[in-house]
Amino acid sequence: MLNATLRSRFFSASLHAGLWVLLLLALVGIGGTRALLFREAAADPAAVNIPVPVGRLGQLFAPANWLKQLVDTGGSNQFLTAHFIPTSPPPPPPPTTRKVEVTYQGYYRAAEGPQQAFLRLGDALVRVQVGGLVTTNLFLIEAAPHTATLTNSAAQTNVLKLNTKQEVEVPLK
């Protein structure tokens, strides 16, 4: 029944008309012609004129004073903790490996010379002899028509496919 009442045209029309009447009465002033009189309140002599002294709070919470407060207590306070004293995090350990992007781009062999392979390290094209050093701690073991095999000083072997970019982890010295 309430649902039917809320959906009726008569209810919505009367609600709409009532809101317009309220707006009109608010704009006309509802019969009131005089504005409210506002005046400044009389000063109370008992009121505090000095604000709260917070100038020294900065010194109280300065990081330089935290350690001094710990030392002054002598450790006798059971509620004292060093948990909230900020300390700098330990430096991260130095990396043990680095990643190198390598792309195998083919090989060739001269008439009397050793087999050579073309490798792209990042943006640089490098020619490496089989068994030679590609970059620090990374060696070329074998070059075939479709694959090249790399190894490093940690005996990790990587097989590269022709013209496929691959990230290789190289241990640092």
pTM for this one?
0.47
Return the pLDDT at 142. Answer: 92
Return the pLDDT at 48. Answer: 62
> Rounded to an integer, what distance in angstroms lies between the CA atom of residue 157 and that of residue 17?
85
160 CB-contact burial (10 Å; exposed 0-12 / middle 13-18 / buried 19+): buried
> Rounded to an integer, what distance in angstroms lies between the CA atom of residue 148 and that of residue 105?
9
Q: Taking all residues of the chain, what is their mean pLDDT, rounded to a whole number?
A: 82
Return the pLDDT at 20. Answer: 95
> Rounded to an integer, what distance in angstroms lies between the CA atom of residue 61 and that of residue 85?
11
For the stretch 114-150, pLDDT in tens is 899 999 998 899 999 999 999 888 899 999 999 999 9
Instruction: Name residues of the chain where pLDDT drops below 70.
Output: 30-35, 48-52, 65-86
- Please report which helix (H) or strand (E) contains residue 142, including its range: strand 138-143
Domain boundaries, the chain: 99-169
Return the pLDDT at 162. Answer: 92
Return the pLDDT at 117. Answer: 94
> Rounded to an integer, what distance in angstroms lies between the CA atom of residue 108 and that of residue 143?
9
Contacts 24+ apart (CB under 8 A), 135-139: 135/100, 135/170, 136/170, 136/172, 136/173, 137/170, 137/171, 137/172, 137/173, 138/100, 138/168, 138/170
Domain covering 99-169 assigned CATH 2.30.30.830 in the classification: yes
